Amino acid sequence: MQVFVALLFWSFVLCITLQCGYALYFFTRIFTIPTQPVTTKSAADPVSVIICAKNEARCLEQNLPAILAQRYTNEAGKTMYEVIVVNDASTDDTATVLQAMEQRYDNLWTVHVEATAARPFKGKKYALAQGVKYAANATVLFTDADCIPADEYWLQNMVAPMRAGKEIVVGYGCYAKTAGLLNAFTRWETMHSFLQGATYTLAGLPYMAVGRNMACAKDIFIQAAASETWNAVPSGDDDLLMAIAATAGNTAVVYNSHSYTTTIAKTSWQEWLLQKQRHMSTGKYYKGRIKTLLGIYAISHAFIWLLFFVLIALGNWNIPLWLMSLRCLLYWAIMAITSRKLKEALLFSLPFFDLGWMLYNFVLSPYIIFKNKTRWT
């Protein structure tokens, strides 16, 4: 029995070491970044904003005017961006809504995709390809119909790093705060994912973006779409583009509050689970080093809690309690700073969701290996 307890204890110490080392190497990079300034200068280069819409009439009515009200002009006051909405075989009033808006906005264009169209790309990727095909500009900015930008400076802030030579810009896509445990955990998990993706990028290992708020050079998208990996799954265009084309030198992260997009989170656990299954289906296509690092983090996170509870139950609680306290102090401080930087009111939820993330990984990790969603809705 003593040998068994000793094995559990040293496994726990190993997990503590891995967790703290991971946090110190990656996550603490969030501390070193100053608050990013807001860009309000005149536009330097024209941009094409691309939105794929499938049965999104109501969302387009609510959110598209804010996309079309961006302050992005040249010094003479001329609008320097276009908005392309790809109507992907919608069966609701999407076409009617877009037709009415085109009469009001000179820089709005609609691409209609018929249900019977031959699709060389799976799922949403075909609609994206059509948007990029008709984009007139060398820089494209992607968002979704159910997203609304933070304000009229969203576009300027998202494409600002492109002027410094970057080819991919990753932004923060947050969820509107509402009541309930699901909403709080969705916002925590989104914040945690952004922290992980952003600090990996700062460490020279970019791997993740959110398709509802990212920009790239048009040539980068074409390069990604030409890869065999691109058509492996119907969704995951954001992470696949990163896996194919992102490098330490060509990728930037933007996170000031003017660069956000906000959308409404799922309101049922079943809907949320289906969404996360789709999001995680591209994990198997990450680069080998990225998958190894993410796996070490997730596995050590799960076992650190399991081993901690087992050791406490066996009466071996003194040293594990001190070690776990130090680990949690480090992690919760990092998440608290991240919460403040991203203006997410989640401070009191951090201890509970740190533990809840263990269950999240056990439930959803199999979808990285075994599941591929075949359509987008």
Q: pLDDT tens digits, residue range 296-321?
A: 998 899 899 999 999 999 888 889 99
Task: Select 47-285's CATH number: 3.90.550.10, 3.60.21.70, 3.30.750.200, 3.40.50.1980.
Answer: 3.90.550.10
Local confidence band at 369 (pLDDT 50, 70, 90 cut-offs): very low
Question: Residue 276: CB partners within 8 Å, gap ≥ 6?
Answer: 364, 367
Strand 168-170 and strand 213-217: the pairing is antiparallel
Q: How many residues does the chain have?
A: 377
**Using CA atoms, how far apart are residues 47 and 215, in angstroms rounded to an integer?**
9
User: In the numeric block, which tokens belong to residue 275?
Assistant: 């969404």
Q: Cβ–Cβ contacts within 10 Å for residue 222, how many?
A: 13
Among the listed ranges 112-121, 129-138, 364-373, which one has the minimum average pLDDT value?
364-373
Q: How far is Cα 300 from Cα 161, in angstroms, rounded to an integer?
A: 35
pLDDT computed for residue 126 by the predictor: 92
Looking at residue 183, its amino acid is: N
Q: Residue 317 carries which side chain, given as an amino acid letter?
A: W
Residue 88, CA distances (Å) to 55, 95, 116, 268 in order = 8, 10, 11, 26
State both tokens at 321: 């309690």
Determine the average pLDDT of the residues in 171-188: 92
Tell me what pLDDT residue 272 has.
81
Contacts of residue 285, Cβ cutoff 8 Å, sequence gap at least 6: 229, 232, 233, 236, 239, 240, 243
Rounded distance, CA 100 to CA 233, Å?
Answer: 34
User: pLDDT (tens digit, 9 = 90+) per residue, 41-59?
Assistant: 666 789 999 999 999 999 9
Domain ranges of the chain: 2-32+289-370, 47-285
Between 257 and 40, name the one with better pLDDT: 257
Is pLDDT above 50 for 184?
yes
Q: Are 272 and 159 in contact (CB under 8 A)?
A: no
Residue (of 307, 339, 287) closest to 18 by Cα position: 307
Q: Tell me, what's the pLDDT at 279?
A: 65
